Amino acid sequence: MSADLILGIDGGGTKILLALADRSGRILRTTRGGGVNPMDNPDWRRELETQIEPFRNETALSAVCAALPAYGEVSHISRLQEEVIQRAFPLVRTSVLNDVDAAHRGALAGQQGILLLSGTGSMAWARNAKGEPARTGGWGDVIGDEGSSYWIGRQALSLLSQGLDGRGPPTALSKAVFDHLQLDMSEAMEGLCDWVTGLAKPRASIAGLSVIVDRAARDGDAVAIELLEKASDELAKHYHAIADHCDAQASWTFAGGTFGSRVLIEALERRIGRLATGPKLPPIGGALLAAAQILDWPIDDGWIEHVAASAKAAFAQ
């Protein structure tokens, strides 16, 4: 295997992706595992260490960038995250970034602009022409995370319970969610409450219901459509709160599983008044880009395109 390899680590609330790449941006090896968010996963460190273990003895490895949730937000957690990476790769140049910072770098290929991130949580991250970062949101599900997949899933559960009770309009979400969870609607309260209380990872599981909301919205369910409209309202607030940090015509883009919903994207574009720029790289590509920058590798459009194509092939479902 050729010299000068880089390792990108994209950690999130529901999963972690790792990619080993060469100087051309070709991904040579990947792995994936469970979530590593210290804010809701007490086993985050064990999961992170387990997933990086296969790469520790890679002799050609020259740089590692780990993009991790909550990094830079809580000082003692950030120190622990740095410690894990530095101990695993003591002879390699390393960097630890907030996962949203890396997602921004990837989506906009290191250029200025605004990234809206919505997955298990929600946040906006901006970088201006001087390279200065700014952020808004990211307060976690107890305080904030409005417009996230978790928020959508949580609201969906509330709305379907209201519909079943007669406290709100009936919605196709009820049958869709119960079918998805393989629960009996004739015992709605018992079944759904048992499901919720039995969840090992509540945030991730509830966030997964956002896909059902999107499907119901595309099928014309008024309650689901209104819920996605409200989610876009919340994400638009993130955008407008941070827009002045960048030039007026700076691009905006998105990342995170919530944006698998075209209904949501189009609603958000209407509120912002401009079409989104499609992400140039996925978040794992942002981590690889940051690792390449540690080594001062020349980065051009060809390199970005190579990483994008390689990542798409490597992580195809």
Domains 5-109+280-314 and 149-272 share a fold: yes
Report, at the CATH architecture level, how domain 149-272 is classified: 2-Layer Sandwich (3.30)
Does the 5-109+280-314 domain belong in CATH 3.60.10.10? Answer: no
Looking up tokens 């995170």, which residue turns up?
A: 256
For residue 220, how many other CB atoms are within 10 A of its CB? 9
For 289-303, what is the mean pLDDT? 93
Determine what percent of the chain is predicted with pLDDT higher than 70: 99
CA distance 50 to 291: 21
Q: Examine the pLDDT at 25 and tell me if it is beyond 60.
A: yes
For residue 1, name the pLDDT band (cuts at 50, 70, 90).
very low
Q: Note the pLDDT tens digit of each residue in 125-139.
A: 999 999 899 999 988
Each domain of the chain, given as residue ranges in start order, spans 5-109+280-314, 149-272
CA distance 107 to 287: 11
Q: Note the pLDDT tens digit of each residue in 266-287.
A: 999 999 999 999 889 999 999 9
